[in-house]
A and B are shown apart, each in its own frame.
Chain A
């Protein structure tokens, strides 16, 4: 099992960015796939999850601005981030879970998003 995030970088406030998470060793369509972020020097914050059935959920802090999706043919998870704010600056981790109640069993290495002018 491997998860490899990409797409992070420096972006101005109000800008957009799309993160990708390429999965191998399993199918993203059969697990609960999440994005979890960690601001510099801070703790972990759940951002969004897509269920195996396609249901999506978001933290209030990103609802209406971020969209989680997956491409089963590419076995890749995405996070489209719009209207970015300084407080969105964080390392974004892609994570897999058999079920959300037991938390993720595999995490990617993370990709850093910096929102700054």
Chain B
């Protein structure tokens, strides 16, 4: 199975400050079409997950532009340029190329 490793496990941040989450996959996430597919999800406490970013850097509709994704091959990053209170929760990366589809263990973002 492709292992998705996220760091840090927990990320205390100050409102208005940037935040960065790393995700590393045990295998390349380059698909047969030459594109790289890595997706990010956000889960607020007591809610269902919501996709934020797909295909490394494409933001979903309605996702604020303070969220950005980057990376290639096996190393990826989710950045929040200025953290807001509504950004708390757990962030998961996910690969959909290799079966079984796998998620990272999650990074919990909380406000200091």
Q: Which residues of A contact B (CB under 8 A)?
A: 36, 43-46, 49, 57, 59-60, 93, 97, 99-105, 107-110
Q: Which of chain A's residues have a CB closer than 8 A to the CB of B100? A: 46, 57, 59-60
User: A57 to nearest B CB, angstroms?
Assistant: 6
In contact, A44 and B49 (Cβ under 8 angstroms): yes
Can you list 5 A-B pairs, Cβ within 8 angstroms, ordered by A? A46-B102, A103-B51, A103-B94, A103-B96, A108-B48
Q: How far is the CB of B53 from chain A (nearest CB, A)?
A: 9
List residues of B whose CB falls within 8 A of some A CB.
31, 37, 39, 41, 43, 48-51, 54-55, 60, 90, 92, 94, 96-97, 99-106
Q: List A contacts of B41 (CB < 8 A).
A: 44, 103
Return chain B residues, CB-CB under 8 Å to A45: 103
Task: List the A residue with the shortest CB-CB distance to B48.
Answer: A107
Query: Chain A at the B interface: mostly helix, strand, loop or mixed?
Result: mixed
| CA of A107 to CA of B92, assembled, Å | 15
Closest to B106 in A: A43
Residue of A nearest to B39 (CB): A103
Q: Is A43 touching B103 in the complex (CB atoms < 8 A)? A: yes
Task: Please give, as numbers and ranges, the residues of chain A lying within 8 Å of B97 by CB-CB distance.
Answer: 101
- In whole angstroms, what is the CA distance A101 to B94 when docked? 9
The answer to whether A104 touches B51, judged by C-beta atoms less than 8 angstroms apart, is yes
The listed residue (A44, A60, A93, A102) touching B96 by CB distance below 8 A is A102
Write out the residue numbers on chain B whose beta carbons fall within 8 Å of the beta carbon of A100: 96, 101
B96–A105 touching, CB < 8 Å = no
- Chain B residue contacts of A105, Cβ below 8 A: 51, 54, 60
